[in-house]
Amino acid sequence: MQQMWEDSQRRLFEELGQYQGADMQFANAVESAGIATSPLAGGSGAFDLTDSQAHGRVTQPRVERYAQVVRKLNDARVAAARPQIDVLAGLEKATLDSSSELKSKQIGQVWKLLAHYTSPKESRNIAAGACAYLEETFVEHVDRIVAQYPHDANVGGIPSTNRKIRGYLNVQFGRLGRVPAFLEMFNDEAIWAHMYTLYRCGFKQELLKYALDMEDIITDSDPGFVAHLKGFCDQAAAIRSDIPVTAASLEDPYKAALYKVLGRGNVSKKAAAEVVQTTEDYLWSSLAVVRDAEQIAAATGHPRNTLESLQALMLKYGPGHFDPNGNNPLLYFRVLLLCGLFENAVDFLLQNDRFQIEAVHIAIALAFYGLLNIPSAETMPSSFGSYLVAADNSGGRAMLDFSRM
């Protein structure tokens, strides 16, 4: 079984054009007598697919689940030049079926994220795909909170989008014991918190409709906001936002957070700090301004935000910034994936013995969809920055060398 899997996996790399003929390097990854060793981690290698026991070697059930997906992919590639197979769905099912072994549900979310990068709507647009994923998971969070605290949410009637958002905020403010005095209110409704949460969920058109319905009230706070929002949602090219922003005008942090992602004035990070508290919220707000960089730059007159600058910042922060105690390696892994740092993400996860098998198959999926930067034999660097990642001299982007896995 193991030999079949090794042959199948090697054949897949060759067909994808990623395997560079490093037969000895691959062979050394799995030692014939037992557990292979990783030159970096000093433990099990990425391609060690067995449990070592006194009376022989037993293929891990988790590996067999993934192997079935790869075999189907290989068969499909033999049958057609462009195989019509949902690789991500197959790998996601293999992960879910292995949840008792992995003891983690987070890894299953990876396939949902990658699906956004490969969908026709967001394909190749990293910021758009990442935002769509973060919005989708936030909607799930809102629904979960409302269902968990029905009395506090007090949705009532038909649970429309606005009712659910209102219920979610009721729970949030209920935990505080009161609605903060600095929030701008109308008829017991925190209007800027409501609008920000709609946009955080990705409900752009619902946000616009809500703002139009509340235009008379919003005008008292910002006369030009609704016009700005309409132009932004319609992707109008001539949006300008010369509104002066002061601490007094942005006392409501939800208003500040919404202004920031819509390019409404020059908003400091501190002004929205009370709203943007989680890693997911921070990444969404950062990626949203990258996704809509052209519109925001036109509106504010400031240089456009780039994905490259966000990537550089996340690499500078490193895993210790997001996971100081080292208890949750998947957190930084997801940060890297959300920022489109696929090569670095696989390299990072491969160094964790617990998730090495998943790292290999995530690499397979990324390679299948053409999302990995992989050196050719002609451009193979002479030295590597780490176990899998090397600097690309042409553009500074990392590269992933399959032959060293």
Enter the tokens of residue 93.
């099912």
For residue 160, give the DSSP letter.
-
Query: How many C-beta atoms lie closer than 10 Å to residue 364's C-beta?
Result: 24
Query: How many C-beta atoms lie closer than 10 Å to residue 164's C-beta?
Result: 20
C-alpha triplet 178, 183, 186: angle, nearest 5°: 95
At 68 the three-state DSSP class reads helix
Instruction: Specify the residue for token string 């003929």.
Output: 21
pLDDT of residue 160: 94
Enter the tokens of residue 394.
């042409």
When the pLDDT of each residue in the chain is averaged and rounded to a whole number, the result is 80
State in Å, rounded, how far the first CA of the chain is from the last one: 20
d(CA 41, CA 310) in angstroms, rounded, equals: 29
287: burial class by Cβ within 10 Å (0-12, 13-18, 19+)? buried
d(CA 281, CA 294) in angstroms, rounded, equals: 21
Choose from 14-18, 118-122, 239-243, 245-249 the range with maximum mean pLDDT: 118-122
Residues contacting residue 405 through CB under 8 Å, at least 6 positions apart:
29, 46, 47, 350, 360, 363, 388
pLDDT at 33 over 70: no
Enter the tokens of residue 344.
């670095």
Q: Residue 37's beta-bridge partner residues?
A: 44
343 neighbors 399 (Cβ within 8 angstroms): yes
- Mind listing the pLDDT tens digit for each residue in 319-361? 999 999 988 999 999 999 999 999 999 999 998 988 999 999 9
Closest by CA to 71, choosing from 14, 3, 4, is 4
pLDDT of residue 243: 63
Enter the tokens of residue 202.
């990705």
**The model's pTM:** 0.82
Q: How confident is the model at residue 390 (pLDDT cuts 50, 70, 90)?
A: low
Side chain identity, residue 86: D
At 115 the three-state DSSP class reads helix
Angle at which helices 253-262 and 225-233 cross, to 10°: 40
Enter the tokens of residue 392.
């690309």
pLDDT of residue 237: 53
389 neighbors 345 (Cβ within 8 angstroms): no
Percentage of the chain surpassing pLDDT 70?
75
327 neighbors 350 (Cβ within 8 angstroms): no
At 389 the three-state DSSP class reads strand
